[in-house]
Amino acid sequence: MSQLLDIVLVAMTLSLAVWTVMARDVFSATVGFMAFGLLLAIIWVQLAAPDVAMTEAAIGAGASGVLFLRFIARRDALGASIGKPRPDDAPVPTGLRIACGALCGIVAMALGIAVLALPSPAPSLAQAAAASLPRTGLGNPIAAVLMAYRALDTLLESVVLVLALIGIWSLSPDSAWGSSPDPFPSPAPAGPLTLFARLLPPVGIIVGIHLTWIGATAPGGKFQGATVLAAMWLLAMMAGLARPPAIGATWLRVLLAAGPTIFLAIGFSGWLFADAFLAYTDAAAKPIIVLIEAVLTPSIAAILAMMLIGPPALAHMRAPDT
Amino acid sequence: MIHLFQVPLFGLCGVALVGLGLFGAIVQADLFRRILSLSVMGSGIFLLFSVVARRPAAGDVAVDPVPQALLITGIVVAFSAVALAVMLLERLDQVSVTDDGEE
C-alpha cells in the first residue's frame, strides 16, 4: 500500500516537474512549481524526514511561491506601463534542444548509476550524532545537529540570510536608499484578504512560536516557525493593515542583525567557558540553545519577510510615464 | 524493509529531476524560466541527499540526522540565493525598459 503511494507520488512529482520546466506560460509554470514543492514535502514525510518536509512546504513551496508570483505581477505591471508586452527572447533551435536533451540525459544516467551503486553498508554519522544527543538536553536529533553538532553551519546560514538581504537592498537606487519598500497594491478594504489578515495572525503567531519551541523535542524548529511568523507579517502588509518599514530604520536593523550577532557572541564565549568556538558547557547547553533559537527566530522571520517585500522604490522610480 | 524499495525509487526520481532542471536551465530562453528550472534541479539534488540520509535505516538507527539537518540548511540557503536572483532579474527588466525608452 505504502509502495503504491510512493510510486504515485513519484509519478505526480515528475509530471509536475516536466510541467514546470516546459509549460507554455510563466504563470502556469510557477503554479506547477508550488504544487511540485508540496508533493516533495509529502515525499519527505515518506522518507521519515518530517523536519525537512516542513521546511520544504514552508520555504520551498510557500515562500518561493510568493516570491515568484510577486515577480510575475511586477513584470506584467512593468509591461503594461510601457504599453507593450515584454519582447520574447529568441527560442533555442530544435537541433540544439535535442543535443541539450541528450547531454542532460547522459548527466542523469551517470547520476543514476551512482545512485544504484551506493556503497553498502551506508556510511553514517548517525551514531556520532546520537552519542552527543544526551549532552545537549534536546530530544530532537535534528535540532541537536543544527544547534550543537553542526552549529557552525547554522551560524553561517543565518549570516548568509543577512548577506542575501543586503544584496537585495543594494538593488535599490541611491535616491531611495533607506526608505520603505513599495507597499503591495491595496485590496478592497472589506475583502476576504483583509478579513484573513485580521483573523489569521493571532493564531499564526502562536503556531510559529510553538513550532520553534517544540523543535527541541519533536519535528519543527526555528526555520519553520520563523517562516510562519514571516508569513503573518507579510499577510498584514499585503492587506494594507501594516506598512512596510523603512529599511534604514534602526529598530529594523537591530532586529535583523540581533540573531546572528548573539549567536556569534555565544560562539566566541565558547572559548572562555568551554574549550572551543561554539562549544557549550554540558550544564548550560539546553538554556544556551533555547536562548539562541529565541533570538534567531525573530531575526530570521524579519529577514524572510523583508526579502519577499524586495528593495525600496523600484516601481515608481524606473517605470516610464509614456 | 520498506527503505530497500524507497532508495532506488526516490533516488532515481531525484536523478530525473536533476536532468529535467538542467535541461530547462539550458534551453529556456526566458531568464525567469531558467531560475524556475534551476530550482527544480536543486530540489532533485535535495531529494538525492535525503535518500542518502534514509539508507542507514538498514542499521540500528532509523535515519541519519546529519544529512537531514544539512538539508534544512540547504533549502533555506537555496531560497535566499533564488530570492536574490529574482530581485536581480526584476531590476534588470526595469533598467532595460528605461534604456529602450531613452534610445
Express each pLDDT in A62-87 by its tens digit.
899 999 998 998 888 877 776 655 55
Q: Name every chain A residue with its beta carbon within 8 A of the beta carbon of B77.
A: 157, 160
Is residue A107 included in any domain, yes or no?
no
Contact A146 B69 (CB under 8 A): yes
Contact B12 A115 (CB under 8 A): yes
Banded pLDDT at A24 (limits 50, 70, 90): confident
Q: Name every chain B residue with its beta carbon within 8 A of the beta carbon of A108.
A: 15-16, 18-19, 22
**A172 & A66 share domain:** no
Per-residue pLDDT at A258: 92
**A49 & A188 share domain:** no
**A53 & A196 share domain:** no
Per-residue pLDDT at B74: 92
Q: Is the dihedral of CA A142, A145, A150, A155 positive or negative?
A: positive
Is residue A278 included in any domain, yes or no?
yes
Final residue in a domain of this structure, among A39, A57, A87: A87
**A239 & A294 share domain:** yes
Contact A78 B94 (CB under 8 A): yes
**A161 & A266 share domain:** yes
**A59 & A136 share domain:** no
Distance CA A181, CA A313 (A): 6
Indicate the average pLDDT of chain A.
Answer: 84
Unique residue bearing C-alpha cell 534604456: B99
Q: Which domain holds residue A282?
A: 125-322
Residue A142 reports pLDDT greater than 70 = yes
A30 touches chain B (CB under 8 A): yes
Per-residue pLDDT at A192: 80
Residue A249 reports pLDDT greater than 80 = yes
**A140 & A276 share domain:** yes
What mean pLDDT comes out for the span A130-143?
Answer: 76
Contact between A141 and A280 under an 8 Å Cβ cutoff? The reply is: no
Residue A134 reports pLDDT greater than 80 = no
Closest Cβ–Cβ partner in A44, A122, A154 for B50: A44
Structural domains of chain A, count: 2
If you write DSSP's letter for every residue of A232-243 in order, what string do you get? HHHHHHHTTSSP
Final residue in a domain of this structure, among A27, A61, A87: A87
Is residue A30 included in any domain, yes or no?
yes
Look up the pTM and report it. Answer: 0.88
Contact B55 A118 (CB under 8 A): yes
Q: Which domains does chain B have, with CATH numbers?
A: 2-102 (1.10.287)
Unique residue bearing C-alpha cell 506584467: A76
**A64 & A133 share domain:** no
Is residue A119 included in any domain, yes or no?
no
**A309 & A243 share domain:** yes
Per mean pLDDT, which range of A98-107, A108-117, A276-285 is the poorest?
A: A276-285
Is residue A165 included in any domain, yes or no?
yes
Give the closest residue to A270 by CA, choosing from A153, A148, A161. A148
Q: Name every chain B residue with its beta carbon within 8 A of the beta carbon of A75.
A: 32, 90, 93
The residues facing A181 across adjacent strands are A312
Grouping H, G, I as helix, E, B as strand and the rest as coil, residue B6 is helix
* ipTM, interface predicted TM-score of the complex: 0.89
**A173 & A259 share domain:** yes
Per mean pLDDT, which range of A12-21, A291-300, B28-37, B50-59 is the poorest?
A: B50-59
Is residue A237 included in any domain, yes or no?
yes
Closest Cβ–Cβ partner in A90, A111, A149 for B18: A111
Is residue A103 included in any domain, yes or no?
no
**A134 & A212 share domain:** yes
Final residue in a domain of this structure, among A38, A63, A87: A87
Is residue A177 included in any domain, yes or no?
yes
Per-residue pLDDT at B101: 47
Contact A60 B57 (CB under 8 A): no
**A33 & A143 share domain:** no
